[in-house]
Amino acid sequence: MERGTSHGGAWATWVAFAGIMMITLGIFDVLGGFTALVSDDYFAVTKDGLLIENYKVFGFIHLVFGVLLVAVGWALLQLRTWARITALVLVIANAALHVAFLNAQPIWSLIMVAIDVLIIYALTVRWEDVKRAGM
């Protein structure tokens, strides 16, 4: 038996990777959201350097994205048909959110965008295999 061919082929491995990474990313976003809500002085830039000048707004947005990422990541692991497209849209929006937050946490935001790119790759690399499998 070839590696990655059991239980739906190599695409299943990529989808599982994307689901696990989305859950991980969501947890990090929730933690970052709570941090922004409770501690304005934690970040490396003044409010003038942000796209939105209120850390509370950014904290709430990160919190919402985190919860959505965890929920959609879990649905992706359960191979829900709606989860794949929803995950792509959500991860692209999350990458844009982290680019907007780049001045406050440059290295962390770049790491999060890199994880977003990996998830996008994982969800799109075997698209034809997934369509053949019926997801």
Tell me the per-residue pLDDT of 61-119, one tens digit each, with 9 for 90 and over. Answer: 889 999 999 999 999 999 888 998 999 999 999 999 888 888 777 888 899 999 999 99
Q: Name residue, tokens 């997801």.
A: 135
Beta carbons of 68 and 20 less than 8 angstroms apart? no
Query: 80: alpha, beta or left, given left = phi > 0 and alpha = psi -120 to 50?
Result: beta
Cα separation of 57 and 97, whole Å?
12
Whether this model's pTM surpasses 0.85: no
Amino acid 1: pLDDT: 39
Is 4 a residue whose pLDDT tops 50?
no
Amino acid 37: pLDDT: 86
Element (H, E) at 18: helix 10-38
pLDDT digits (tens, 9 = 90+) for 16-50: 899 999 999 999 999 988 988 887 666 656 555 66
Residues ≥6 apart with Cβ < 8 Å to 124: 88
